[in-house]
């Protein structure tokens, strides 16, 4: 029975698993181990790419140690902290496989649920987006997260139910086609908006979200909030206002 279940499990050709990491020394090793387990279940060809975005804890030395243990692991080191978007873009650029799966290195999502994303692939679906069953954060962050999603959806008009869920499976050909610019957390909105605007379709699956056990979120740092807001304004101008002006002139 177990052999039959494994034989019938959905699979894809090849996957690059990308993890942006900043001061995630307490969680990144377990994320890599979980990724190795699940990647073997869904594909025969895979790689793991961790982008160490200028960590100041022991993340860098730990990752260097892990590369000697896991030949499937590649590590990119940023000499200074460049931002979440910059780390993701570096990981996407380094990916070599047909599909790119990404989630954060802080263990608030479970890489084992990659099987849910792969299982959602079918005819008419181009990429798969997770959405949080519930958010395991403080009440303040939950409220801020909901407000951010609804405001962003109102202004940008995307269709998915959880733009802030960093648990996605995307064909590398789509990532090669769109040009990402954000260096902050605004990259998630930019990514979804540009994929939808290009005519591609997301499937959506529920995934679990866990409380942070190590380190601190960088999103709520005042400097990061200001940077993200500025990039959102620029994205709105380019992806909504200028696009609407082009349509008006064309008609």
What would the pLDDT profile of 7-52 be if each residue is shown by its tens digit?
566 899 999 999 999 999 999 999 999 999 999 999 999 999 999 9
The count of structural domains within the chain is: 1
pLDDT-derived band at 154, boundaries 50, 70, 90: confident
Asked whether residue 6 is assigned to any structural domain, the reply reads: no
Q: Is 234 a residue whose pLDDT tops 60?
A: yes
For residue 39, what are its two tokens? 């990647």
Domain that holds residue 65: 12-250
Residue 5, domain member (yes or no) = no
Strand intervals (E) in the chain = 15-21, 46-53, 73-78, 99-103, 127-132, 167-171, 202-207
Whether residue 4 is contained in a domain is answered as no
Residue at 3 is within a domain: no
User: pLDDT band at 215, cuts 50/70/90?
Assistant: low
| Cα–Cα distance for residue pair 24/20, rounded to 1 Å | 9
Q: Is 123 contained in some domain?
A: yes
Q: pTM of this prediction?
A: 0.87
User: pLDDT higher for 90 or 138?
Assistant: 90
CA atoms within 13 A on the CB side of 96: 8
Quote the pLDDT of residue 1: 35
**CATH assignment at residue 244:** 3.90.550.10
- Exposure pattern of 83-99 as b/e (b: 16+ CB <10 Å)? bbbbbbbbbbeebebeb
Q: What percent of the chain has pLDDT over 70?
A: 86
CB atoms within 10 A of CB 37: 12
């Amino acid at each position: 029975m177990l052999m039959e279940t494994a034989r019938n499990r959905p699979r894809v050709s090849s996957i690059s698993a990308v993890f942006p990491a900043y001061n995630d020394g307490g969680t990144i090793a377990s994320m890599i181990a979980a990724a190795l387990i699940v990647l073997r279940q869904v594909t025969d060809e895979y790689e793991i790419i961790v982008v160490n975005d200028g960590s100041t804890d022991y993340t860098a030395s730990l990752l260097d140690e892990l590369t000697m243990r896991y030949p499937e692991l590649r590590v990119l080191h940023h000499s200074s902290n460049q931002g979440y978007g910059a780390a993701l873009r570096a990981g996407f650029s380094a990916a070599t496989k047909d599909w790119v799966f990404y989630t954060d290195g802080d263990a608030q999502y479970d890489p084992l649920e990659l099987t849910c994303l792969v299982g959602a692939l079918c005819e008419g679906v181009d990429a798969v987006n997770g959405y949080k069953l519930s958010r395991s954060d403080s009440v303040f962050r939950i409220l801020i997260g909901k407000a951010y999603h609804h405001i962003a959806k109102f202004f940008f008009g995307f269709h998915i139910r959880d733009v802030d869920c960093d648990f996605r499976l995307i064909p590398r050909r789509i990532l090669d086609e769109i040009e990402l610019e954000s260096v902050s957390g605004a990259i998630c909105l930019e990514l979804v908006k540009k994929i939808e605007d290009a005519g591609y379709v997301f499937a959506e699956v529920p995934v679990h979200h866990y409380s942070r056990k190590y380190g601190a979120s960088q999103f709520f740092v005042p400097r990061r909030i200001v940077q993200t807001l500025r990039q959102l304004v620029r994205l709105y101008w380019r992806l909504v206002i200028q696009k609407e002006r082009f349509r008006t002139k064309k008609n």
